[in-house]
Amino acid sequence: MRTARLLDISVIAIVCVRIATTVWAAAWNTQGDFYASLPGTYVKWVNPTLWDSPDMRGAWGYHRDTYFHGPTQYLTLYPIAFLDSYEQIAWALLPVYILVIAVAWVLLYRALAILAPGRRIAVPLFAATFLFFPLLQAFIQREFEVVIFLGLAFALLQVMRDRLGVAGAAFAYVAWFKYIPLMLFGYVVLRGWTRAAMAFVAASIAILTATHVVFGLDEFYNNNVPSHAAQVFRVFDYSFYYDAGGVLNGDGFCKGWFETETTLANLRHGLCAVAARAPIVPPNVVYLLICIAVAVAYLVTHVRLARRVLDESDERWRRAIELSIIITICSCFFFAHYYYLSALTIPVTVLLIRFLDRDRRPQLAVWAVAFVLLSGFVVPTGIVSRLTGADVWAWYVGYGWWLYGELLLIALLMHEYWALAARPAPAAAQPAIS
């Protein structure tokens, strides 16, 4: 007991140091895609000072009549338009996002405590959440994904409590940020959750109506959104070429990948990075095979589970794992920068608590490898770079180390989902919560 307590204290201390260094970094490193997506056309009328602010000139949206992200971001953060510079926005969001992440962690803790009643999960959950670098990077850069993490944690808790209508509305809020999570609607329909589907539709109508009244919907797709959407379907050809500067670029399936890129972290670009160094690997074929395997395994398992009577515990785990799979697909299978992986905090912690609750040490070891690969090797790469004199982050992203973490995470989730359907039915199962 004394050893366990000392271990807990040590872990908490290490995590607190990491949190402190992250907050310090966030004070001085403020620009990312959130900055690039600003200010949005409405700022031209609401606050011309911000519209013309000199520190906004580097943003993609500077003096452009468009909105690079979905309605959820601009509706939620509408008040930032009344600040006069991006510097003011960054400082204003810093304490807000600290509070948002803290609340999200509490909600996640409550959801996972329902899955593992009686299990002491606070310390491992604290460590897994606040050592997960995609989430930390999203916070440092003031990315709206921090708020999406809160929305997903809230939705998971509502699903665990069988408040499906509230969960459906939360799913809609998340979905109208970057559109791909609209597949959450397909999930609730597949599950036959009428309340959730109706709430999703109602919330979507409210969000889109408010968006049209406040901003105008036409300016949400007069940008790079259509090209990103079209790229999703380019899966039948790929090639590589050197540009005028001698940098290797991808085309077709690999369009958008280039060898010096240090932010993209999705399956497509990871496979392209591998193929660029090992031409024998056709990235589009491997990608399609992974997609087919996941889709078939998921649907077959769904059918098998639908034919069974699950007890309340198994039904809750089913929901948590299914939601984790959907989140992982949305985060990894399409266009994604590294900080998009902050949403993987949900599936990563769901698996951690499942393996701890069941004392599954082999799976826990695989989980640890996946966590290290997904989290930039856990140790801050800036420190390692100073010690080694090499750009460790560029090496980490350029060689696609996160790709193997994503593949391991997907494999663990699909294995747990399949195993749930393969378990012998309890002799006298209590009816599931739905």
- What is the band of 424 on the pLDDT scale with cuts at 50, 70, 90? confident
The average confidence (pLDDT) of the chain is 93
Q: What are phi and psi of 238, to 5 degrees?
A: -155, 155
- Residue-wise pLDDT for 312-323, tens only, equals 999 999 999 999
pLDDT confidence of residue 223: 80
Give the number of other CB atoms < 10 A from CB of residue 194. 13
Q: Which of 150, 154, 183 is nearest to 167 (CA)?
A: 154
pLDDT confidence of residue 425: 64
Q: What are phi and psi of 241, to 5 degrees?
A: -150, 155
- Asked if residue 39 has a cis previous peptide bond (ω within 30° of 0), the answer is yes
- Residue-wise pLDDT for 362-379, tens only, equals 999 999 999 999 999 998
pTM > 0.85: yes or no: yes
pLDDT confidence of residue 423: 76
Does residue 14 sit in helix, strand or coil?
helix
CA distance 228 to 315: 36
In the predicted structure, residue 432 carries a pLDDT above the cut 80: no
User: How do the domains of the chain map onto residue ranges?
Assistant: 1-222, 224-434
CA distance 250 to 9: 48
SS3 content of the chain, % helix, strand, coil (to 5): 70, 5, 25
Do residues 376 and 133 make contact, with C-beta atoms less than 8 angstroms apart? yes
